[in-house]
Amino acid sequence: MSALTRNEAQLRAQLLDVHHYAVALDLTTGDETFDSTTLIRFTARTAGDTFVELKPDELRSATLDGHPLDPAALDDDRLPLTGLSEGPHELRVDARMRYSRTGEGLHRFTDPADGETYVYSQMFMDDVQRVFAAFDQPDLKAVFEFTVTAPAHWSVLANGITTRTGDRPAAGDRPAAGTWTSAPTPVISTYLAAVAGGPWHTITTEHAGLPFALHCRRSLAPFLDADAEEILSVTTACFDRYHEKFTEPYPFDSYDQAFVPEFNAGAMENPGLVTFRDEFVFRSAVTDTERQTRAMVIAHEMAHMWFGDLVTLAWFDDIWLNESFAEYMGYQTLTEATRFTDTWTEFGVTRKAWGYDADQRPSTHPVAPGPDDVPDTASALLNFDGISYAKGASALRQLVAWLGEKDFLAGINTHFARHKFANASLADFVDSLAAHTDRDVHAWAEIWLRTTGVDTLTPHIEDVTTGEGPGGWTLTVDRDGSRPHRITAGTYTLAPDGLLERAELLDLDVPSDEVLSVSGPRPALLVLNDGDLTFAKLRLDDTSLETALRGLSRIPDPLTRAVVWGALRDMVRDGELEPEAYLATAEAHLPGETDLALVQGVLTFARTHVADQYTDPDRRAAALATLGSIARDLLRRTEDGSDPGLRLAAVRALISCSTQPDTIAAWLADGSIAGGPALDPELRWSILARLAVLGAVDEAAVDAALAADPSATGQEGAARCRAALPTPEAKAAAWQRLFHDDTLSNYLFTATAQGFWQPEQADLVREYVPRYYPDAVALAARRGPAIGQAAGRWAFPAHAVDEANLQAGRTCLEDPAILPLLRRQLVDRLDDLARALRVRGA
């Protein structure tokens, strides 16, 4: 399989104008394959040669302007088109295609709850070629129309409004079927074409004169019904807010949101048909922070209708023009338009941490890489990470602080007007911004978007004395890095009741030769980047660090607390704060924390990083005990039912860190927890997984739980539990399923991998650590990018924090044949492993 190079894409774009795709899919031909016929109308600007891409199970025929092409000419997923004359052409391709079980191309899923089958497309990057023939690059936009033959009881969705246009009666071994036709789209890129079919449960409404709809599989219908009002409220509120911000109206004929099974990403911005992972249809209780996350994803994908769909990148070096903008707009618009008014706190404690971590690894890259940094589609896939999303959104937040929101929005609207239904680059966008300001936006973009790494800002406070006594204090800020930052510094004093009160917000430009002189007593706490308007690691002066460790929960604003927690997190990762000190701070302050996003974010870092990686094995039990103490304090605080979301977070934390099975086993047997909540499926499977790790259940118990919950999530829970059982037989069976039988879907692979490695079972799985590397490389070569990425992310032996594992991984990286997505995952995981070793050594 060859990756499309940038040079090839540029040459083809110079040669061709692509006008129209008419794609006919027959989804009634069997469980493994489907029929795909594509008619492409295009024009050659000059005479020349090119190719069309396709990854068929069988290429049956192809004709160019009515003349047959040799199917045997298909080579490495490319069908040559030679001797093109100048002028219009028509290409017809008829092929049999294979359904996917890995979330790529046309994914097919049969719901174990009721036996119903669903298909949906994920065409990003080069996966459209798994569905139909295409000139597959983002700057060859065209109109798309689909005709889909599907089982008679299905409905079919596409980018444009679909209409059932015919029926086929059953005859012989042919099942009854319906034919659906989609309205033509405006011109869009190939990776944004979308289709989905199945017996969907659908909720429809109308807003702003357009049809809006929600779709999910039938077994999830009661859960979508329960949340439909909230989902649609967020959807329409964001839609209206975007129309207040943007002068270009929503450019498509409808807005469908389909919650689909076994989806690899969080969601995909297909115009008119956004697809979401259907875990966002909540089957069990969730916290309000998780509802906010779902709302943010809705807002993010809707922003893409403008950033990415209306105006599309010309090549994949500019994915930040899609993802960074959608990330920034999603958080900002959700804050402005919905009940979720504190979204930037969750961003600060969760998403920015993702960006900071990514930007400190060897795999870091600029927010906007240069053309030479993304030479082909395979390298482009590596950049969908915390840099393109979280760091890019942070850079935009800093840009707004520096430029002003009025000029920023004016530049955006100029960009839309100049490039709608076309393609644009970073240079185009910067030119649009520059038209509305005297500031040097080009210089800002060069230093913020073309460079890598995280700056670190450190305050220095000096007391000033005069002949009459204390004369105030001075502040300077050291910058380890290269970027300019416009920030505020918050100063806090201790009130008589022990609370920290904000005394002043100081506006700072960093770097600066100016020494800022401030009257009054030295603050008990000084927080750089108060308001979290830039992307930089922060340090605290000695006095502020002591105040923070002792009084963090008494800082009044949750976003400021998020900034301080982030600084402590970075200090742990950099070996400047002992992991035990972080846990002690969490134990002192989380029981009184009022912001749920902070509780969840801090507990997650403490559990997955501090306890499992940064703490020596002989001290891990004590770390888990501290986390258990925090969880029990939160449970006591919420016994009155005043905060069910916080109580749910506490229950989950206590399950996760339990080292003795008695309490959680009793919960499972009782079916509820004293004071609530009742155990829903998610909690039952979480408890069973932890009991499996501890050796307190056997396979028979897992089988019984699956019989009680045979849903798709039940199947995943059972796979996770079976892999977690602490027996040689269970581990051998799980390893076989993961790396050798190639039948697991993407989700069942991930669930099995999540269960396999457990720090408590290090001796039991020791022999598998060196086996991981060759087996993962071979698996990725056989099963492709999605499974290769999952193998690197979820199946990596992260618990084995030792030099032997690190060296085995580094030796593996010397193999030049490793699939790029797996290589990227291994580079990142090994860097995390090396950091954990340094933290333990420190």
If asked whether residues 229 and 247 sit together in one domain, one would say: yes
Both structure tokens of 738: 């993961």
At 131-152, the pLDDT tens digits run 999 999 999 999 999 999 999 9
629: in domain: yes
Domain boundary among 387, 422, 453: 453
pLDDT of 471 > 80? The answer is: no
Residues 433, 536, 827: CA angle, nearest 5 degrees: 100
Number of domains in the chain: 3
Whether 833 contacts 573, CB under 8 Å = no
CATH for 334:
1.10.390.10
Q: Answer whether 35's CB lies under 8 Å from 23's CB.
A: no
**315 located within any domain:** yes
Q: Which of 453, 468, 503 is the last residue of a domain?
A: 453
- Catalytic-role residue among 104, 301, 323, 716: 301
- For residue 431, is it within any domain? yes
Residues 565 and 598 in one domain: no
Phi then psi dihedrals of residue 569, to 5 deg = -60, -45
Domain range enclosing 459: 455-534+536-577
CB atoms within 10 A of CB 114: 12
Question: Rounded to whole angstroms, how far apart are CA atoms 618 and 613?
Answer: 12
What does the radius of gyration of the chain's CA atoms come to, in whole angstroms? 28
Same-domain check for residues 546 and 590 = no
User: What percentage of residues in the chain have a pLDDT greater than 70?
Assistant: 99
In a domain, 226, yes or no: yes
- Local confidence band at 469 (pLDDT 50, 70, 90 cut-offs): low
Query: 661-678 burial string, b = 16+ CB within 10 Å, else e?
Result: beebbebbeeeebeeeee
Residue 470 has pLDDT above 90, yes or no: no
Which secondary-structure segment (H or E) carries 647?
Answer: helix 644-657
The pLDDT of residue 465 is: 81
Is 233 among the domain residues?
yes
- Give the rounded percent of residues in the chain with a pLDDT score beyond 90: 95
Contact 155, 197 (CB under 8 A): yes
Q: Answer yes or no: do 573 and 549 share one domain.
A: yes
The pLDDT-based confidence of 467 (bands split at 50, 70, 90) is: low
CA dist 103 and 9 (Å) reads 25
Query: Does residue 301 have an active-site annotation?
Result: yes
505 and 598 housed in the same domain: no
Helical (H) or strand (E) element with 119: strand 117-122
- Across the range 514-535, mean pLDDT stands at 94
Are 573 and 614 members of one domain?
A: no
Residue 498 has what pLDDT? 81
Instruction: Specify whether 283 is located in the same domain as 307.
Output: yes
Looking at residue 522, what is its pLDDT? 92
Domain-terminating residue out of 622, 657, 692: 657
Asked whether residue 118 is assigned to any structural domain, the reply reads no
Domain co-membership, 591 together with 571? no
For 473, phi and psi rounded to 5 degrees?
-155, 165
- Judge if 207 and 243 occupy the same domain: yes
Per the structure block, which two tokens stand in for 72?
């045997």
Asked whether residue 448 falls in the same domain as residue 464, the answer is no
**Distance of alpha carbon 712 from alpha carbon 789, whole angstroms:** 22
| Domain identity same for 447 and 478 | no
pTM: 0.97
pLDDT tens, 210-241? 999 999 999 999 999 999 999 999 999 999 99
